[in-house]
Structure 1
Amino acid sequence: MRISLDNLTMRYGDNTVFDGLNLDIADGESLVLLGPSGCGKTSTMRCVAGLEEPGAGSITIGDRTIFSAADGINVAPHRRNVGMVFQSYAVWPHKTVFENVAFSLRRQRVGADRIRERVRQVLELVGLAEMADRGASLLSGGQMQRVALARSLAMRPSVLLLDEPLSNLDARLRERLRLELRELQLALGLTTVYVTHDQVEAFALADRIALMQDGKILQLGSPEDIYAHPATTSLARFLGVGNILSCTLDGGGAHVADSDLIVELPASAGTPTGKTSVCMRSEDLAVAPWSDGPHGSNTWAGSIVVSSFQGALIRYRVTLDAGPTVDAVTARRAGPTLRAGDRVTVTCAVEAVQVLADDSELAPAATSLDAEVVA
């Protein structure tokens, strides 16, 4: 089902959560609301679910208006046909897996035979068919989250809302369940809205990402577009992009502030008005043992400060002779492992350099709890 939010406004006392928020989500699309704590993403989801009442605007699911401040429409949450999975599992430990999933169906007075069939189907879908009779208190965290997901799917919702459902799980399990959630969403063709502060999770699960800050959607696009072309420095930092350096533009180059570093820019680089920053992603920097040259464009001498072996990748921090310290990520097999103190050359392809509008003084500090490079 398509979801439309039109001119939505919400306030808590004197605090405005969002004002005039507009968003259209296509039928069968997986949209991720991504942003730091307090940006309004969870409140947006709760308005769709009917758990919060906006002060103005309207919400439509399919062809049905479920909220309209102007027309006095506010459909009760249990009549919106919306499934919601929360950060906390909300699983009853004294009930079996089957009983947990069947609970809402029984509340709706669905017949016993239909309950058995629906519960069986969704438990197979989430990989818990063999655990139907197991007590929920005996389940792992990942299994309990699957139970919560199955309980929502059993209701056959038009829309599925997920509010940071994986944040309580360990990193390896989160990674596995991301793939399972994405596979499930694609198989069912279910319109999904997912809330997270973790950019890696957003990239893995989204057809489109809405980057939120201070109750506004500052950028909306595919994961590839959002990652490759962040609109501003604050959004780039939130996405975990490294090596964002304040600069002044001079012809075809960028002079990095408080240093002697000049970065050659591609012809396609924009020229934002006002303050600017030059961005060189960690994975776009090549680090090699020092050689006397000759060297091409955007190649600088420096010294390794830290060398961190991370399995398939090696992360380096390099202080350039021209001034700045930069981070680089290279494949383990790309060359010899370098050590702290080694003299090196650092190279960035001209085409990989970006120029961003520097809004760091206008925007609040955007932080990510899971900042990592997506290779």
Structure 2
Amino acid sequence: MSHSVIVLVRHGVLPMELGLVHQLFGSARSAHGEPLYSVTTCALAPGLIRTDADFPIRADHGPEALEHADTVLVPASHEEDESYTGGAYTGGSYAGGSYAGGPYAGGDGLPPALAAALDRIPARARIASICTGAFVLAAHGLLDGRSATTHWLSTDHFARAFPAVRVEPGVLYVDGGRVLTSAGEAAGIDLCLHMIRRDFGAAVAADVARRTVVPPHREGGQAQYIPRPVPEPDSSSTSAARAWALTRLEQPLTLRELAAQEAMSVRTFSRRFREESGLTPMQWLAQQRLAHARQLLEETDRTVDRVAAESGFGTAASLRQHFQSALGVSPRAYRATFRGPGRGSA
């Protein structure tokens, strides 16, 4: 039986966020070509739902669909003046709105119909939000005591409205186990691919990414998308240093060596690197080494010691420390989870 994904839409939904869920989960196939997910759109009342574009979408299912969910996705809505009790589509489009999160963004709780819909979700189901859909989860108490993120334009507002939530403003998504949140619209792609990877392994997620022509994993966080002052005209990219480092991840690279690839001082290189990527050079390097280690664990039979050496962490102890810090699991546990079916383990 396929994994049931239910998307709960509200008036003012962003078509891109709804479409990406259907595209990504709908593209996931088993080795025999069978669909791994079924995706259903529901609303608080069946019928036409306004979007933030000049066309509506039709939801044929009401909130009762949530009772059969394995995963629930809550996209953002740009419409802030709805009572969320349903109602007929009256034509036109919603051209206004902002990333403020809706009428419950002040921490006053959800409208009764929306709260009742969320209460239908089974306790076993996973719940995730895209962009400011996180405001819905937070207002219902689902993020209390948890880490979460949302669009960078709204993180300050989100933190003030929901002090019980630990806001992580710089990341593309946060996996809190049962409850997950993502940053702006495109970060929903990163989150969906992560959930596919978690459910069915790296090979399936990579195949979905290839079909959709997106990277299986994006570097950095949303800090790189926050507007900054235009750099001075004579500034140059640090891409050559990154390309150079990616072919030498197993070596003990230094900041001075990276800067030398761009003929820059360490100070200038570090500043420009952070402007371009949102990360320090050493943070980026650790991230690339971790990604390489994950790939080796997923796709090869190499021992943990050898994976540590080939990914630049040196020792198995160092690799375990980085895995535990970044992913909350050991390398062996990660391999057991994401190793493709029928493959051996070291």
Q: Given the two structures, how large is their TM-score scaled by the length of structure 1?
A: 0.29
| Larger Cα-atom Rg | 1
Q: Given the two structures, how large is their TM-score scaled by the length of structure 2?
A: 0.31
Q: Which has the higher contact order (CA 8 A, sep 6+)?
A: 1
Structure with the largest fraction of strand: 1
